[in-house]
Chains A and B, each alone.
Chain A
């Protein structure tokens, strides 16, 4: 394995030019040679606009072979790619692109509202070419991509990952899942989501095939089982919620899924009852529970036992530290805790991010120094068991996971506060057997009463769909603590328990 994503993929192109590289959303196949030519076209188009090493390039494109080629084309120029949600409001995407100063944006259709004033707009697929533009040397410590996650102040945070962070993780994946050029790996998650790193760069580094799944099929539990069978997917990776929906609505028994070798899930807790049902239907493949915030890729992994091993009522562990990083459970002072003691889950090593875009790592609260080393504090709580496996014990802050998406409740509040008909808001999460329910308590301008439809419509304009609250509560005022902060426990008891 090389130490940059470009070196790995160029090696795969040279070794396997005629193997299928990408199976597009409509089933069309592209070889490694064809991807190479498409990526040349993208790199040439970017080069003409002056894009080079150290730059950032925005990607606001639906999944396609052309989009995969666009990622490679960006990386070949020495720039880093910044993928965003094509379904998010243009305004939010533009703020992300402005934050990290992209010099160009690649889009499916022209959308000036999402492109910063000084950035070049490149619409559609540039013509493929056999001429490879001259390219700078790419170094392992160069930035490869920036993934934006929900930020507590209302501004998404850019997680900056270097080539070596990605290749350290990809190398671990290839070894752990015994991946080969014969594998056909699902690309279920959107490209702005960190699961896409495994989906794309594991197969692309070894001559395997990426099976692209478009965003509407990805949400449809009744179309996915047929797709897995038709495309003969060998490696599946997704959030648990879609696997649970496939188990209940997907009629899995009527499909031939004998091609599946490995099933990985990450991003949230998989309810045990659903996992048991899925495991009973898909008895062939190995199942893995992967854990890690975007900032660390994946840092612990747990191989899920077969049927009988799932009989207990205890939640599954998130597993042992991956061998390309170090994971500890520490107290607030950074001291290691013994088995069974709950503390902060911290991580350091190969896959851990450089930092957040625009923030000095030395002043980033998520980094803490222990014994002279910089560790990333995940914000999650956990405890080791006697077998050195980590068990997850929830969050310390106001971040929740819903359908695998990371959501800072503060970002929803900031979005609500942009409505001129609201004075203030407070957002809370409730854990229920069917998942996380998000409640918003809103105080309207005096003498008015917004409709729920009006509130949802406002949210649809300023927030991605997965952040829109499930329940709105119009209140006359928010309870305050003695220090003037919103009294969330009291509000919770007043609002959620009454609903």
Chain B
């Protein structure tokens, strides 16, 4: 299977696929909008953040520090995509 490219669309697709198969199994993909609050609404709890971080590190070969996993970088799909882009731009 071809992995999507590491541009914004590719990152978005990978993040969505992870969320829909991890904490949102059974959800209609259309409900997962790019600005949906994930952390502040309780959709993702602390263990979900650990799994998300592990997924992003493995998928994009990046290293994420503990202080970078706060709400500012992980509360929405948009925020996660921007964060991964900034890590890749290094």
Contact = CB atoms under 8 A, between A and B. Distances in A.
B43 A216 contact: no
Nearest to B45: A465
B90 interface: no
B5 interface: no
Given A219-B50, A245-B50, A473 B42 contact: no
Interface residues of B, number: 20
Interface of A: 216-217, 219-223, 245, 249, 403, 451-453, 456-457, 459-461, 465-466, 468, 470-474, 499
Contacts of A403: 47
Interface in B1-52: 23-28, 31-32, 36, 41-43, 45-47, 50
A400 to B, nearest CB: 15
Contacts of A221: 50
B43 A223 contact: no
A220 B23 CA distance: 19
Given A460-B42, A468-B45, A217 B25 contact: no
Contacts of B41: 453, 456-457, 460
B46 A453 contact: no
B36 A453 contact: yes
A254 to B, nearest CB: 14
Contacts of A471: 25-26
Given A457-B43, A459-B42, A451 B66 contact: no
Contacts of B45: 460, 465-466, 468
A451 B27 contact: yes
Nearest to B40: A460
A245 B66 CA distance: 14
A249 B58 CA distance: 12
A451 B26 CA distance: 9
Contact of B31 (A223, A451, A459, A465): A451
B66 A453 contact: no
Contacts, number: 61
A496 to B, nearest CB: 12
A403 B47 CA distance: 9
Contacts of B25: 452, 471-472, 499
Contacts of A461: 42
Contacts of A222: 65-66
A18 to B, nearest CB: 33
A243 B71 CA distance: 25
A416 to B, nearest CB: 13
Contacts of B26: 452, 471-474
Contacts of A465: 42, 45-47
Given A216-B66, A471-B26, 11 more contacts: A219-B46, A452-B25, A453-B24, A453-B43, A456-B43, A457-B42, A457-B43, A459-B42, A465-B47, A466-B45, A466-B47
Contact of A220 (B24, B28, B43, B66): B66
A223 B53 CA distance: 14
A45 B28 CA distance: 53
Nearest to B69: A220
Interface string B41-79: 111011100100010000000000110010000000000
B51 to A, nearest CB: 10
A271 B49 CA distance: 22
A228 to B, nearest CB: 14
Contacts of B42: 456-457, 459-461, 465, 468
Contacts of B47: 219, 403, 465-466
Contacts of B23: 456, 470
A460 B66 contact: no
Given A216-B66, A460-B42, A473-B26, A453 B31 contact: yes
Contacts of B69: 220
Nearest to A248: B54
A288 to B, nearest CB: 25
Contacts of A216: 46, 66
B55 to A, nearest CB: 12
Nearest to B32: A453
17 contacts: A216-B46, A219-B46, A219-B47, A220-B50, A220-B69, A221-B50, A222-B66, A453-B31, A453-B32, A456-B23, A457-B41, A465-B45, A465-B46, A468-B45, A471-B25, A471-B26, A472-B26
B50 A452 contact: no
B44 to A, nearest CB: 8
Which are the 5 A-B pairs with shortest beta-carbon distances? A460-B42, A465-B45, A452-B27, A220-B66, A223-B66
B49 to A, nearest CB: 8
Nearest to B27: A452
